[in-house]
Amino acid sequence: MTTQTDRLFGAALSRRALACAWLLVLAAPDVGLLNAADQPYSIFVMRPDGSEVRKVVHVDGCVDHTSPRWSHDGKQIVFSATPGGFSASAIYVVNADGTELRKIGEHLRADWSPDDKQLAFDRIAANRAFEVYVQGLDGKGETKITDGMSPRWSPDGGSLVVSERSNLFVMDLIAGTRRYLLGEPVVQVFDGYCWSPDGKQLAVVVRPQLGSRRHCLLVNTAEDAQRPRELAVGEMGGYVSFSPDGKQLTYSDSLLIRTIDIDGKSRQRIVPEQKGKNKHPNWSPDGKWIVFSGDRDDL
């Protein structure tokens, strides 16, 4: 016989399970949960007009490949790869032509320093909290910078912007101080935000409230606790990238890569000739290529 205590205990477990599942969603990178039955993702490049698509790399044994980012000299790409689901991810660096793949470490969400000699990344600590580290590209000199996740280096190299899931803060790497950018915390800050080339703006995707659509915002990096400008609303992934001239933004929405003008005077445009599911676009420093994660299998 089921007693009232049993029913209450079961309800408590259900609420706890729901809460734990939601925390996993908040903590996880902006990726789908993949398994062996899904078409694996790989790292590709294409022209901004969708032409000349080429597979760069696929790590053997890995299902998902995420968060690719060009080095500032355009010669290398850093990305994460995972066997699937919430399995441990690792960071890899590969030449832009797909040669010399090398594993950097068991980390997440890496970003290049402006001189391309260091990587900032996060990883999960023993208490399940996320911590931000910086290390040399040679794997030496690992240093913890702060608690948080998804670090992004400022163009001048003096700061990191870091997520606390409900807000963003700019960490001064010299003074060790931090200041928050959003005046009102949100339900979720998505990974993959991006500094503008001049360092004056930050593009970030957030979910303002439970159940709401995702909003792509432009944040003034010189102001504290502000009300940012809304650029787009939809189901975009969190990974956004400014064009080198700072006039456009690229992102994925419903797993199609799109571009939009920063001035907000035009609607978003779908990059033509796409096949399969595509996400996490990042513009090359010369503006001639976009690297992204995709699941097409014809290349």
Tokens of 265: 């005077």
- Domains belonging to the chain, first-starting first, are 4-294 (2.120.10.30)
Tokens of 163: 């997520």
Contact 245, 233 (CB under 8 A): no
What pLDDT does 214 receive? 96
Count of CB atoms situated within 10 Å of the CB of 149: 23
The alpha helices in 41-157, defined as continuous H runs, are none
What pLDDT does 6 receive? 39
What pLDDT does 79 receive? 97
What pLDDT does 104 receive? 93
Q: Whole-model pTM?
A: 0.86
What pLDDT does 225 receive? 76
The series of mean pLDDT values per 10 residues for the chain, 299 residues long, is 37 36 41 58 97 97 95 97 78 97 92 97 87 92 94 97 96 95 94 96 96 95 86 94 97 96 91 96 98 94
* Distance (Å, whole) CA 77 – CA 117: 13
* Distance (Å, whole) CA 138 – CA 229: 39
* Distance (Å, whole) CA 226 – CA 181: 6
What pLDDT does 85 receive? 58
Closest CA to 183 of 215, 137, 226: 226
User: Going along 137-213, which residue ranges are E strands?
Assistant: 143-147, 149-153, 159-163, 168-172, 178-180, 188-189, 194-195, 201-207
Residue 32 main-chain phi, psi, to 5 deg: -80, 160
Count of CB atoms situated within 10 Å of the CB of 31: 24
Give buried/exposed letters for 87-99 (b at 16+ CB in 10 A, else e): eebbbbbbebeee
Contact 225, 181 (CB under 8 A): yes
* Distance (Å, whole) CA 92 – CA 106: 9
